[in-house]
Amino acid sequence: MTPHDGITNFIAYLRLSPYSPKTVHAYADQLKPFAAWLVEQRIDDLRTVTRAHIGSYQAHVRQEPIQRETQALRLRAVKRLYQYLITDGRLLLDPTEGVKEISRRRALPRPILGPREMKRLLAAPDTTTPLGIRDRALLEVFYATGVRVGELEKVQVQDVDRTLQTMHIRFAKGGTPRVVPLGHHAVQWLSTYLDQVRPKMVKARPFERALFVVRGGRPLGQAQTRTLLHRYCQVAHLRKTVTPHILRHSCATHLLRAGANLRAIQELLGHSRLVSTTIYTRVAPMEVKAMHQRYHPGNAEHAAD
């Protein structure tokens, strides 16, 4: 089985799995250097790769002038490739088994928006106009839910329950749907948008079900959303770069500072592992320390020896 055939089959499998196109592209991109390395080593069959070969490739990757995160992704892609080949019955032994992945240093998020900055951003759209109402609703939903921009793009009108003040994320990253709370302000602006603005915007496309749309009724895309955020960042006179992910980090950090449980934040953000959520304890270390001092039994004034 040639590297080209094995990698092609693996990528085809990923495309049929609940992975985002971005993730599939990342795996394909990170496997190209491995295929090139195999050519240099004159290895033309994935079944002849040994653990020693994998160790050599890992050493090769470590020496490349690329970020540690990229190094980790390159080896992870190779491990996932061989896991697929084993599961698919194309191999009996996995040469990557037991090979320790390169540790990925979890980078801190970019500077988040403080509560006052967040209020300025939310107030930036001109809500005397239809598009301003839509954009205010969009910002409120981002801040209330911490939703990923790719997830929100796929949310449909029927996924919003205004009575329960919740939103169903059906096409979530990782393939696990979740229901997130919206809160009063987000529901208030969503209601105004859904009742007064959206019906006019989808007049030419009455069949469109996407929650947020542009003039003419087509879904609001990720690139357009990022452009809107950049513009409102300027309107609000914010010196920080504002992206959908910054709003996600801001939502989580503000919840943590208010005393929210990390497990609850994990559920809200849709993290499969708590370790992904604990990065916010590094964003707000003083708040976490204060909460620990206040609530942990070991910090009681007269704790037992």
User: Between the CA of residue 127 and those of 197, 259, 288, what are the distances in Å?
Assistant: 11, 32, 37
Determine whether 248 is an active site residue: yes
Catalytic-role residue among 148, 198, 249, 254: 148
Rounded Cα gap, residues 202 and 304, in angstroms = 66
DSSP 297: G
Catalytic-role residue among 134, 248, 249, 254: 248
Determine whether 148 is an active site residue: yes
Determine whether 271 is an active site residue: yes
Q: What's the gap between Cα 145 and its chain centre?
A: 13
Determine whether 295 is an active site residue: no
In DSSP terms, 179 is beta-bridged to: 168
Catalytic-role residue among 104, 231, 240, 245: 245
Q: In 64-180, where does DSSP find H-type helix?
A: 68-87, 115-122, 130-145, 149-153
The bridge status of strand 160-161 relative to strand 178-181 is unpaired
Catalytic-role residue among 82, 84, 143, 280: 280
Catalytic-role residue among 74, 134, 136, 173: 173
- Using the CB atoms, write b or e for 147-161: b if 16+ within 10 Å: bbbbbbbebeeebbe
Determine whether 173 is an active site residue: yes
Determine whether 110 is an active site residue: no
The catalytic site residues sit at 148, 173, 245, 248, 271, 280
